[in-house]
Structure 1
Amino acid sequence: MDKRFWISGVVMTIATALLGFVVHGLLLADDYNTLVGTVMRSPEEANGMMHWMLLADACIGFAMTWIYRQGIGPSATLGQGVRFGIAVAFLTVIPQFLIYWVVTKMPAGIVHKQLVFDSLRMVVLGVLVAYLNPRRTG
């Protein structure tokens, strides 16, 4: 684990936190507000647990960096990042929200938005991690 790994992990952690806020704190906020007290925690209760969200973001940031660096191929950086982001979405986002939909009373419309927005978030993060960790020639 070299310097590039640690820098990439920190940048990815910050990026996933910011993009997560855009998706869940802004784009889905009105949808989530209709569920406070039933499916969702109150903002006060959730804010008291925000350290767990930061830990989750660090897990995503460093795991994406680590996994990506294991298989950098000869493909163009953009294409490789997009493919990696799609793979991560199929490994994490899509099953996660489908499972949550089955075990909670989350409305299908919100789940659809979660699937689309968070999958796009993973593609953006995939491209970012690819540019942070270019393949080495020679």
Structure 2
Amino acid sequence: MDKRFWICGIVVGAAALILGMLVHGVLLRADYQAMAALYRTQAQANAHAAWILPAYLLLGLAMTWLYRRMPASDGVELARGARFGLAIALVSFVPWHMLAFVAQPLPLSLMLRQVVLDLVAMVLLGMLLAWLQPHRRVLAPPP
């Protein structure tokens, strides 16, 4: 795995962290606070917060690795990246939220918002990957 892989993976991981904070820390914060009894206390959450960075780094690196497994394209194809992000969401976040809904007493409206917002975030991450072009081996375009 070359330098470009690591840079793209770290950038996508950082973007995923920012989107995760926006979705779950800002947009859905009031919903989570209303059901605080279902979650860890603030002190417990703070004690486990160190797991957030490696989780998002792993997400960024895994998405980059999978994207590089696809055939290379001639340039930036944002629609292709969006489709990739959609596929990743459909095999990860979407079923995860649905299964959590089954196992935890969460409102259907919250699960649906989680699904939609995380799906949008993953599509944006796929588009970011397409823009970063992790297949490209050189920084300058060929003549």
The question of a shared fold, defined as TM-score above 0.5 by the shorter chain, is answered with: yes
List per-residue Cα deviations over 1:103-133 (Å, max 9, x = no partner). Answer: 1111111101100000000000000011112
Residue identity in the other structure for 1:63: A
Residue identity in the other structure for 1:127: M
List per-residue Cα deviations over 1:66-112 (Å, max 9, x = no partner). Answer: 00010044485111111001101101011100010011111111101
Which whole-Å CA distance do the structure 2 matches of 1:86 and 1:73 have between them? 19
Structure 1: 5+ residue stretches without partners: none
Q: Quick one: structure 1 residues 43 and 84, their matched pair in 2 at CA, closer, same or farther if it must change by over 3 Å?
A: same
Is the Cα contact below 8 Å between 1:81 and 1:128 reproduced in 2?
yes
Q: Quick one: structure 1 residues 73 and 83, their matched pair in 2 at CA, closer, same or farther if it must change by over 3 Å?
A: farther
How many residue pairs match? The answer is 137
Map 1:22-41 onto structure 2 (within 5 A). 22-37=22-37, 39-41=38-40
Residue identity in the other structure for 2:67: Y
What is the TM-score with the length of structure 1 in the denominator? Answer: 0.92
Is the Cα contact below 8 Å between 1:77 and 1:134 reproduced in 2?
no
Percent identical pairs in the alignment equals 39
Structure 2: 5+ residue stretches without partners: none
Q: Which residue does the alignment assign to 1:129?
A: 129
Q: Which residue does the alignment assign to 1:20?
A: 20
Bigger radius of gyration, 1 or 2?
Answer: 2
How far is the alpha carbon of 1:54 from its aligned partner? 1.3
Q: Which residue does the alignment assign to 1:49?
A: 48
Deviates most, 126-135 or 24-33: 126-135
Is the Cα contact below 8 Å between 1:85 and 1:123 reproduced in 2?
yes
Q: Which residue does the alignment assign to 1:77?
A: 77
Is the Cα contact below 8 Å between 1:13 and 1:57 reproduced in 2?
yes
Which whole-Å CA distance do the structure 2 matches of 1:74 and 1:65 have between them? 15
Residue identity in the other structure for 2:40: R
SS in 2 for 1:105: coil
